[in-house]
Amino acid sequence: MEPLLKPFDQQESPQKDIHPSKPSRFGVSGKFLFFLTLIIGLLFLLSNIYISNVADERNSILKQKLALMADKIEDSIESRLFMLDELESYVQVSPELDQSDFEVFAHTMFERDPSLRSLQLARNSVLSHIYPLTNNKAALGHDLLADENRKADVLLAYQSNAATISGPLNLRQGGLALVVRQPVNIKNNANQSTQSWGLSILLLDWDELLQETDLLSLAGEQSLALRKQVGNTNPIKLLLTCTS
């Protein structure tokens, strides 16, 4: 008769599964999706950093170009300031000059420079002499200090006792022009003191200046704005900015 209990070392032990357990399909796919998402996120981040760096570099290059163009416009304007000096010298010799005398003098200056749209004198800040007078007669007698659109720039010219610019402004006869104003001072023969006579004024054709400074090539790619630098000690210091 077989004993009811076998010795411990003779008892049957439960059979072990000889086949290794398979990893769950959810665990593998979950890890794959995690790493795929991580890689995509890193690629997105790197692409944004690259795009930002490219944009910063382009903006830096554009700012350099704009600064260079602004300098060219300044140089172009400053190269014509001698005309204002000549007008002042003419007034100092003949402070009571009439329109016909002014036209003869201004005509010789006009022939030198195609960018000139008009030469003007404003005695006591009132437009008193204009060349060419054709299409500009209505401007004679215009009080610049009574014009709120021009008063600030006129006062700046007097206060700085130097050339200042306005514009570019739309002209009644069509086109755009930069307006350059400079005070005219004469000597009082009675006491040899210096007194203000008024202003000498240049109107410079904006399109001519654009062609001269090659700004048209840049204006075709960007929308630009020309501004005076606020607080700069130079009254004709300009700042070109991109508006798009």
Which one has a higher pLDDT value, 119 or 218? 119
Average pLDDT over residues 119-144: 92
In this prediction, residue 238 carries a pLDDT of 53
**What global pTM score does this model have?**
0.67
pLDDT digits (tens, 9 = 90+) for 186-214: 988 777 788 999 999 999 998 888 787 76
pLDDT score recorded for residue 8: 47
Contacts of residue 213, defined as CB under 8 A and 6 or more positions apart, other chains included, come to 69, 72, 73, 76
In the chain, domain spans: 80-206
Which residues, 6 or more positions from 173, have their beta carbon under 8 angstroms from its beta carbon?
135, 136
Which residues are within 8 A (CB) of 30 and not within 5 positions of it... i.e. 6 or more apart? none
Over the stretch 92-118, which tens digit does the pLDDT of each residue have?
999 999 999 999 999 988 888 888 999
Residues 97-107, buried b or exposed e (16+ Cβ, 10 A)?
beeeebbebbe
Residue 185 pLDDT: 94
Q: How much is the pLDDT for 6?
A: 52
Other CB atoms within a 10 A radius of the CB of residue 148 amount to 7
Q: Over the Cα atoms of the chain, what is R_g?
A: 39
Report how far residue 161's alpha carbon sits from residue 181's, in angstroms, rounded to the nearest whole number: 10
* Dihedral sign for Cα atoms in the order 37, 38, 42, 48: positive
Assigned CATH topology for domain 80-206: Beta-Lactamase (3.30.450)
Structure confidence at residue 66 (pLDDT) = 72
14 pLDDT tier (thresholds 50, 70, 90):
low
Query: For residues 152 and 230, is the Cβ–Cβ distance under 8 A?
Result: no
Burial zone of 181 (CB within 10 Å; 0-12 exposed, 13-18 middle, 19+ buried):
buried
Select the more confidently predicted residue: 53 or 10.
53
pLDDT for res 41: 76
The whole-chain average pLDDT of the chain stands at 77
